[in-house]
Amino acid sequence: MERDWDTFLAPYELAVAELKIKLRGLRKQYRNSGEHVPIEFVTGRVKPVESILNKAELRGIALNRLEDEMSDMAGMRIMCQFVEDIHLVVDILRRRNDMKIIQERDYITNRKASGYRSYHLVIEYPVQMLEGEKKLLAEIQIRTLSMNFWATIEHSLNYKYKGQIPEDIDQRLFRAAEAAYQLDEEMSSIRDEIQEAQHLFNRKEQKKEVR
């Protein structure tokens, strides 16, 4: 029987919408507190049906096992300025009681062979449906702006070359990943200076808003 994808993905749509509000709310609370804001921006998406089917085939996941075995049908991304912010955000999420972290993958310490870096959490998240509560899996990827820049470009190249990026481009990409990592390290080394400047700048902007 043909699967009704809209019905199947409805709880995932709801989870992504709720998580966007909650994680953006977290950023807003930091902004209002005057403390350093560890979150730059948040995005979220439900995996398109075509990508679900491709990944299922690639990983040998039976379609009746998707809910348990494909943890990123609901996917969130949190972008941070500094690597230190990533760890702060993970700590904040660990303490929340509206989600349960069931897996952590640290691709920052252990970068992937492609050069990919990011911190992944798989969470169990409850949504309220007409039939009652449904607990589903969602993935939260937390990365710096430079990790995101690299991953977005590599993702498009992978799409263009259908996963077979030519060797010379692949090598350049790998070097670019290392350069992105060095950029993060340099920024971290002058983090106090940057944060102080941003604090002064934000205060100036807030004064303008009041006037």
Catalytic residues: 139
18 touches ligand 0O2 by CB under 6 A: no
Tell me which of 20, 22, 24, 105 binds ligand 0O2, using CB under 6 A: 105
Whether 146 and 184 have beta carbons less than 8 Å apart is answered as yes
DSSP letter string over 46-103? EPPHHHHHHHHHHHT--GGGHHHH-TTSEEEEEEESSHHHHHHHHHHHHH-SSSEEEE
Q: How many CA atoms lie within 13 A of 119 on its CB side?
A: 21
- Judged by CB under 6 A, the residue of 28, 65, 112, 135 near ligand 0O2 is 112
Q: Pick the stretch among 28-36, 113-121, 180-188, 196-204 that binds ligand 0O2 (CB under 6 A).
A: 113-121
- Supply the minimum distance, in Å, between the C-beta of residue 125 and ligand 0O2: 17
Question: What phi and psi values does residue 108 have, to the nearest 5 degrees?
Answer: -95, -50
Q: Beta-carbon neighbour count of residue 160 at 10 Å?
A: 11
Considering only residues 55 through 74, tell me which ones interact with ligand 0O2, judged by CB under 6 A. 55, 72
Q: Which stretch binds ligand 0O2 (CB under 6 A): 35-43, 94-102, 111-119, 203-211?
A: 111-119
Binding stretches for ligand 0O2 (CB under 6 A): 47, 51, 55, 72, 75, 105, 112, 114, 116, 120, 151, 154-155
